[in-house]
Structure 1
Amino acid sequence: MKRELMATATFGLEACVKREIQALGYEIIGTENGHVAFLGDERAIARCNLWLRCADRVLLVMGQFPAETFEDLFQQTKGIAWEELIPPDGKFTVIGSSVKSRLHSVPACQSIVKKAVAERLGECYGMDVLPETGAEHRIKVSLLKDKALLTVDTSGTALHKRGYREADVAAPIKETMAAALIQLSFWKPGRVLLDPCCGSGTIPIEAALIGRNIAPGLSRHFAAEDWDLMDSSIWKEERRAAYAAIQTETPLEIYASDIDPRAAAATRTNAAAAGVEDCIRFSRADLSLRENLPEEGGIMISNLPYGKRIGSETGIQKVYKILSRLMKESPRWSFFLLTSDKGLEKALRRKADRRRKLFNGNIETTYYQYHGKR
Structure 2
Amino acid sequence: MTLIASAPMGLESIVRDECVDLGFENVKTFNGRVEFDGGPEEIVKANIHLRVADRVFVKMGEFKALTFEDLFQEIKKMKWEDLIPIDGEFPVSWVSSVKCKLYSKSDIQKIVKKSIVERLKSHYDIGYFAEKGASYKIKIQAHNDIFLVMVDTSGEGLHKRGYRNLINDAPLKETMAAALVKLSRWKGGELPLVDPMCGTGTIAIEAAMIARNVAPGVNRKFASEKWSIIPGNLWIDTRDAAFSEEDYDKEVKIYASDMDPEAIEVAMENAKKAGVDGDIIFECKNILEIEAPYEKGAIITNPPYGDRLLTENEVQRLYSLMGDIFRMRFSKWSYYVITSYEKFESYFDKKATKNRKLYNGGIKCYYYQYYGAK
TM over 0.5: yes
- Contact 2:95/2:105 (<8 A) preserved: yes
Deviation at 1:295, TM superposition (A): 4.9
Moved more, 325-334 or 314-323: 314-323
| AA in 1 matched with 2:80 | W
Give secondary structure in 2 for the equivalent of 1:114: helix
Deviation at 1:144, TM superposition (A): 1.4
- Contact 2:20/2:27 (<8 A) preserved: no
Alpha-carbon distance between aligned partners in 2 of 1:308 and 1:320, rounded to the nearest angstrom: 14
| AA in 1 matched with 2:115 | A
1:19 pairs with 2:14: no
1:322 pairs with 2:316: no
- Contact 1:166/1:269 (<8 A) preserved: no
User: What does 1:97-116 align with in structure 2 at a 5 Å threshold?
Assistant: 97-116=96-115
| AA in 2 matched with 1:206 | E
- Aligned residue number for residue 75 of structure 1: 73
- Aligned residue number for residue 373 of structure 2: 373
Give secondary structure in 2 for the equivalent of 1:369: strand
Percent identity over the alignment is 45
Once the two structures are superposed, what CA deviation does each residue of 1:179-206 show, in whole Å capped at 9, x if it has no partner? 0000000102121001111011100000
Moved more, 279-288 or 144-153: 144-153
Deviation at 1:40, TM superposition (A): 1.6
Q: 29, 32, 47: which one pairs with 1:31?
A: 29
Q: 56, 64, 67: which one pairs with 1:66?
A: 64
Alpha-carbon distance between aligned partners in 1 of 2:351 and 2:26, rounded to the nearest angstrom: 35
Alpha-carbon distance between aligned partners in 2 of 1:254 and 1:112, rounded to the nearest angstrom: 53
Give secondary structure in 1 for the equivalent of 2:264: helix
Alpha-carbon distance between aligned partners in 2 of 1:122 and 1:86, rounded to the nearest angstrom: 12
Deviation at 1:344, TM superposition (A): 1.0
Alpha-carbon distance between aligned partners in 2 of 1:299 and 1:164, rounded to the nearest angstrom: 24
Alpha-carbon distance between aligned partners in 2 of 1:249 and 1:72, rounded to the nearest angstrom: 58
Once the two structures are superposed, what CA deviation does each residue of 1:342-369 show, in whole Å capped at 9, x if it has no partner? 1111112110000000111121110000
Once the two structures are superposed, what CA deviation does each residue of 1:318-339 show, in whole Å capped at 9, x if it has no partner? 4223322233323210110011
Where do 5+ consecutive residues of structure 2 fail to align? none
Deviation at 1:100, TM superposition (A): 1.1
1:93 pairs with 2:80: no
Moved more, 293-302 or 345-354: 293-302
Q: Which runs of 4+ in 1 moved over 4 A?
A: none
Moved more, 322-331 or 109-118: 322-331
Give secondary structure in 1 for the equivalent of 2:3: strand
| AA in 2 matched with 1:87 | P
Deviation at 1:29, TM superposition (A): 4.1
Tell me the C-alpha RMSD between the 2 structures.
1.2
1:195 pairs with 2:222: no
User: What does 1:334-349 align with in structure 2 at a 5 Å threshold?
Assistant: 334-349=334-349
Deviation at 1:157, TM superposition (A): 0.4
- Aligned residue number for residue 5 of structure 1: 3
Give secondary structure in 1 for the equivalent of 2:136: strand
Where do 5+ consecutive residues of structure 1 fail to align? none
| AA in 2 matched with 1:356 | R
- Aligned residue number for residue 250 of structure 2: 250
Alpha-carbon distance between aligned partners in 1 of 2:22 and 2:252, rounded to the nearest angstrom: 24
Moved more, 253-262 or 143-152: 143-152
Alpha-carbon distance between aligned partners in 1 of 2:284 and 2:144, rounded to the nearest angstrom: 52
Deviation at 1:293, TM superposition (A): 1.2
Alpha-carbon distance between aligned partners in 2 of 1:60 and 1:21, rounded to the nearest angstrom: 15
Moved more, 181-190 or 242-251: 242-251
- Aligned residue number for residue 296 of structure 2: 297
Deviation at 1:314, TM superposition (A): 4.4
- Contact 1:258/1:287 (<8 A) preserved: yes
- Contact 1:164/1:273 (<8 A) preserved: yes
Moved more, 26-35 or 125-134: 26-35
- Aligned residue number for residue 46 of structure 1: 44
